[in-house]
Amino acid sequence: MEILIPIGTVITLLGLATLMWCIYRVAKARKSSLEDEQLRLILQSITPINLAALFLSVLGLIIVIVGITLS
């Protein structure tokens, strides 16, 4: 069960990297001179990716905790 710790760590880091990408995309969209409707469309397209990244991060942390508990 010790294999769960590195697997959970990789999943968590993947989720965090995706979150950083979402933050970068939103910051880039806000800096550009887009109209409100275009900015809203970009933000709406990033929201599901952001939620999936949060889910991955939480899932990875849960896997790490289970791996530590079972070790």
Cβ-contact 42, 8 below 8 angstroms = no
Phi, psi of 50 (to 5 degrees): -65, -45
pLDDT tens sequence across 19-63? 999 999 999 999 998 888 999 999 999 999 999 999 999 999 999
In terms of residue numbers, what domain contains 49?
Answer: 4-70
Q: How confident is the model at residue 6 (pLDDT cuts 50, 70, 90)?
A: very high
Cβ-contact 60, 19 below 8 angstroms = no
Count structural domains, the chain. 1
Q: What is the pTM of this model?
A: 0.86
Residue 1 has a pLDDT of 83
